[in-house]
Amino acid sequence: MNVFDCHIHVQPWEMMSPAALALMNSETFGSVKELLTDPEKLLRHLDSEGVDRVCCINYVSPDVMGFTRETNDWIARFTKGHRDRLLPVGSVNPLHQTDVAGELDRILDLGIRMVKIHPPHQLFSPNAYKSTLPELARIYETCQERGIPVMFHTGTSIFPLARNVFADPMPIDDVAIDFPRLTIILAHLGRPLYGETVFFLARRHPNVMIELSGIPPRNLPEAFPRLRELAHKALWGTDWPSPGVKSMRANVEAFRALGFPAEDERRILSENGQRLFGIGATG
């Protein structure tokens, strides 16, 4: 099976704030940090882990994580020449960008394949375009017109300075209504507080998908008991190398041990991601 991990973090770690980096400096992260600075080493690691391709998550969060707008250029350079397997993900933060539309066009022209919005780390609600942040609508409009998916972090964050008042995914209901042709991905299934909200949104809206990272696979039956009903619009993700994620392969094996039907496994682990990005298996 060609595993497509739609959520790993390949970021310019030298930008990360000391407080955030201290949380990341686990034994797991320390052992793989070198892989995240060299695409050739990362590709060899993916081969050893049995992973076909990945989405390399980045987002602009100078206030909480330390990542500036240069993270978009960094991931574009990192993935250049390897985008059959390493899909670059970036963002525009309208709290730190005056020309939102121009910057979004610029990063999409660099080859960014998906836009990430992280409300607790970027410090705004997904529907803030209706009140205090009208520029946010330009992101959704442009992504809708250019066929670029938008992934939202859903659920809480333990990183220092994260604002979990923005963790509830229900405001994405507005986004799904106002931008019906925008592909919306709900990362982390709203863990640990908002699983029912994520299930509701994904069932209600044809343009809303879910993504499974951030929950140990063995806990999925309890955390998201009706996952099989959404297997046709669920994406695989691990959140590697976040604390607690020892390896991409281990997470895949733990997921397969749950005993889902083979068709659902294929959809979640590979086929839905390939269809979303219009690409086929590499091997």
Per the CATH hierarchy, to which homologous superfamily does domain 3-277 belong? Metal-dependent hydrolases (3.20.20.140)
Gap between the Cα atoms of 235 and 275, Å rounded: 10
Per-residue pLDDT tens for 104-154? Answer: 999 999 999 999 999 999 999 999 999 999 999 999 999 999 999 999 999
Model pLDDT, residue 282: 61
Per-residue pLDDT tens for 142-161? Answer: 999 999 999 999 999 999 99
The domain limits of the chain are 3-277
User: Tokens 């009208």 — which residue?
Assistant: 134
In this structure, how many other beta carbons lie within 10 angstroms of the beta carbon of residue 271? 19
Mean pLDDT calculated for residue range 246-257:
96
pTM confidence score: 0.97
